[in-house]
Structure 1
């Protein structure tokens, strides 16, 4: 699990993912060698297929070859929290406390390392 408390917003990866057929919107957060993708998809009733997940992971790794694990979720709660974080950072708002919340959410959403 992530013990380094630096979280980066990967805008370039998000832009590439948004160009994937079936993806409407995405935000990506990177911690160490892990990428966490919050995606809104318009295929299969908004559910993530293994093929689409693979395409998303490929786009993330294309922007940063140091990424070892890519975790993708279309869960509305996860998407909303990540979108809020990205918006707050973009507006210069303080995000103190987000890291702890993020780690708790990630442990719940992705309980086993990939």
Structure 2
């Protein structure tokens, strides 16, 4: 019996020493994976130097786009990532802009800080679509409704660094010429991009929307006061 206890104690001691010497157990380590984009400590904005997605720029000139086109293939690529339910990717002459609806297939999508839930799904248990107005229908023009829907995130900065990085890497792998990738789950932005996508599906060019598009992305991604559009 003593021999068995000694062997057990020896095994535990060796295991602990291996963990310590190899440095593989770190309470502050980044444990992001395909299903968890968060980490114990969220990467501060000033330390995200290797990011491939766009940061909020003080100059609106970063969004002086000349062309606009919807990419069905890139949208489908992004939708394959855990945490993304729907994606709409727009390509310009210089950048890519990605609007997403977030689902629960991954954790850590909004970083380590808790955010107020923007989508109310209580109507499902009540047997009605809208628990406030008792309306049974949604606006067919809107992809993001805020009622019995997937999640939106008002401010682009509230999406986790690892989540945005994964999306941007997927887009830039397919289109290396893209300078910056701008990502948002803002409800108004999603619905505006959905309108453009529907126009593209009908076969209409989107060049006539460039000015309106630029105005939106400047407001969403270039605001110096760090406030969201909605």
More helix by share: 1
Structure number with bigger Rg = 2
Tell me which protein shows more strand as a share of its residues: 1
* Length-normalised TM-score, structure 1: 0.86
1:85 partner SS: helix
What is residue 81 of structure 1 aligned with on the other side?
192
Q: Which runs of 5 or more structure 1 residues have no equivalent in the other structure?
A: none
Residue 23 and residue 92 in structure 1: after superposition, are their counterparts in 2 closer, same or farther (change >3 A)? same
Q: 2:100 aligns with which of 39, 63, 66?
A: 39
Q: How far did 1:5 drift?
A: 2.6
Determine helix, strand or coil for the equivalent of 1:52. helix
Change (3 A) 1:18 1:3: same
* Residue 67 (structure 2) pairs with residue 6 (structure 1): yes
Structure 1 range deviating more: 42-51 or 60-69: 42-51
Q: Could you say what the CA RMSD is over the residues aligned between the two structures, in angstroms?
A: 1.9
User: Aligned pair in 2 of structure 1 residues 12, 74: CA closer, same or farther (>3 Å)?
Assistant: same
Residue-by-residue CA offset, 1:36-89 (whole Å, 9 max, x unaligned): 001111145534221111110011001101012000000000000001101112
Q: Which residue of 2 aligns with 1:51?
A: 162
* Distance in 2 of aligned mates of 1:20 and 1:94: 28
Q: Which residue of 86, 89, 95 corresponds with 1:28?
A: 89
Distance 2:205 2:177 in 1: 28
Partner of 1:62: 173
Tell me the TM-score normalized by structure 2: 0.45
State whether residues 2 and 31 of structure 1, in contact with CA within 8 Å, keep that contact through their aligned partners in structure 2: no
Q: How does 1:91-106 map to 2 (within 5 A)?
A: 91-93=202-204, 95=206, 97-106=208-217
